[in-house]
């Protein structure tokens, strides 16, 4: 799914279909194909928020990985630590 669709669904959970014309006009529809009024500025803000959230989660995961490796590696040789970093 696209970031735009995820942002639309986050703001408008009843939207199940999103169509974009060649001109870039975005239309959203509910499950009965009824049109749903959406706000593009709000959607762009939500895209930014979701992207920042995903980035923060990725950074937290990387920090946790580094912490675990450092704790495990305290009794390993440098070669074993290098192998661990490569494979985890």
| Per-residue pLDDT at 1 | 58
Residue 21 has which token pair? 């014309």
pLDDT tens per residue, range 7-55: 999 999 999 999 999 998 999 999 999 999 999 999 999 999 999 999 9
**66 vs 41: which has the higher pLDDT:** 41
CA distance linking residue 86 with residue 80, whole number of Å: 10
CA angle in degrees (0–180, nearest 5) for 6-12-16 = 70
For the chain, the structural domain boundaries read 3-87
**Contact 24/34 with Cβ under 8 angstroms?**
no
């Amino acid at each position: 799914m696209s970031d735009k669709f995820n942002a639309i669904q986050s703001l408008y959970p009843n939207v199940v279909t999103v169509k974009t014309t060649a001109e870039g006009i975005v239309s959203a529809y509910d499950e009965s194909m009824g049109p749903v009024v959406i706000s593009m500025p709000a959607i762009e803000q939500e895209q930014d928020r979701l992207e920042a959230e995903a980035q923060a989660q990725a950074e937290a995961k990387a920090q946790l990985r580094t912490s675990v490796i450092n704790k495990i590696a305290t009794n390993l040789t440098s070669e074993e630590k290098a192998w661990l970093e490569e494979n985890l």
